[in-house]
């Protein structure tokens, strides 16, 4: 063997490990979802998110990895989970609800954050403006506070004799507090008296109902991760107290609540997948305006209405997007 050929052969052999290393498949991008409730509450929404990602070319466990962390309605878990995401150096953080989004924003100013649904992102300081969110966070608003007066009007339509309404709010949730303020303002306009039982933890829910017995005609429940997680207990207590209820999400109504009016969560998560797609392809969150929902669902649980002895007018039933029987 000639010397020149030998040197070429040796040089090529030395390069083999580098060539093999260069051909190793890249680790797929990782999306971490900070779920404030639990997998069952958010299944329809997360399914919609994964489905839309697939349509956009991101296949779970192939071209992309998605990991879920559930806070089970415990706000104190948000900071812990967000810090874990930062240590893992994930590519995108997906959040749902305002408290979890705030925790993610506090944890990192570098990793892109997409909130699939935030109640009042400007009012709670998540973003500077809807058009120019700024920083590393963007997503979709659910207009939680904007719809408060509409929900109260529907409740009075079902209960023409409505005089006093209880507003159940989680005062540890900034957005729940903002919504409570909007409901109080709407109640004043409608000449309704209000009682505001406040909760901070799950242990406060049952005592709050005890304080309402015989004092109110209906219950308006402000949205928060804590109250969403314990929606079955809330509905059970409301039925026991014979209180008609109004909520912001379908998930409350399918578990026994009387009515809900608000954005369609799966459609918001469907849109959130498009934000994630753009970010993974190089877009900056600060360049993606916060969007508002285009689809709102009015749900009536007729079984609950019958249990409460309420007659729902045919006109109102015709307006409902879904009637649960």
pLDDT at residue 212 tops 50:
yes
Residue 141: name the closest of 258, 21, 312, 294 by CA: 294
CATH domain 30-143+264-296 topology:
Rossmann fold (3.40.50)
pLDDT in tens, 60-114: 999 999 999 999 878 889 999 999 999 999 999 999 888 899 999 999 999 999 9
pLDDT in tens, 141-189: 987 777 889 999 999 999 999 999 999 999 988 888 889 999 999 999 9
| Per-residue confidence (pLDDT) for residue 143, from 0 to 100 | 75
Rounded CA separation 297/262 (Å): 6
pLDDT grade, residue 9 (50/70/90)? very low
> What average pLDDT does range 266-282 have in this prediction?
96
Whole-number mean pLDDT of the chain?
89
User: pTM higher than 0.95 for the full model?
Assistant: no
pLDDT at residue 276 tops 50:
yes
Q: What is the DSSP letter of 291?
A: B
**148-262+297-324 maps to CATH 3.40.50.2300:** yes
Extents of the domains making up the chain: 30-143+264-296, 148-262+297-324
3-state secondary structure of 137: strand
| Per-residue confidence (pLDDT) for residue 81, from 0 to 100 | 95
The string of DSSP letters for 69-122 reads EE-TT-THHHHHHHHHHHHHT-SEEEE-SHHHHHHHHHH-SSS-EEEEEES-TT
For residue 64 the two structure tokens come to 């992309």
Q: Among residues of the chain, what percentage have pLDDT more than 90?
A: 70
């Amino acid at each position: 063997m000639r010397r020149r050929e030998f040197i070429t052969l040796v040089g090529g052999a030395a390069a083999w490990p580098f060539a093999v290393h260069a051909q190793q498949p890249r680790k797929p991008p990782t999306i971490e979802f900070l779920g404030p409730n639990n997998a069952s509450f958010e299944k329809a929404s997360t399914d919609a998110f994964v489905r839309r990602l697939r349509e956009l070319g991101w296949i779970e466990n192939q071209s992309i990895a998605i990991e879920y962390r559930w806070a089970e309605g415990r706000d104190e878990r948000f900071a812990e989970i967000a810090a874990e995401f930062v240590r893992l150096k994930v590519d995108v953080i997906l959040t749902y609800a305002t408290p979890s989004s705030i925790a993610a924003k506090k944890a990192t100013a570098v990793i892109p954050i997409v909130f699939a649904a935030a109640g009042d992102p400007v009012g709670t300081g998540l973003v500077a403006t809807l058009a120019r969110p700024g920083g590393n966070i963007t997503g979709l608003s659910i207009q939680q506070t904007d719809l408060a007066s509409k929900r109260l009007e529907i409740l009075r339509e079902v209960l023409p004799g409505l005089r006093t309404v209880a507003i159940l709010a989680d005062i540890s949730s900034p957005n729940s507090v903002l919504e409570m303020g909007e409901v109080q303002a709407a109640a004043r306009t409608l000449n309704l008296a209000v009682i505001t039982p406040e909760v901070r933890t799950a242990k406060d829910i049952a005592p709050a109902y005890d304080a309402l017995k015989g004092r109110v005609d209906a219950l308006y429940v402000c949205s928060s991760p804590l109250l969403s997680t314990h929606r079955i207990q809330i509905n059970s207590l409301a039925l026991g107290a014979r209180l008609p209820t109004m909520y912001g999400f379908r998930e409350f109504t399918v578990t026994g609540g009387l009515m809900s009016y608000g954005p369609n969560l799966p459609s918001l998560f469907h849109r959130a997948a498009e934000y994630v797609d753009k970010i993974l392809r190089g877009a900056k969150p600060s360049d993606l305006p916060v969007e508002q929902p285009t689809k709102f669902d009015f749900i009536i649980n007729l079984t609950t209405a019958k249990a409460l002895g309420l007659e729902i007018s045919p006109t109102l039933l015709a307006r409902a997007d879904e009637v649960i029987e």
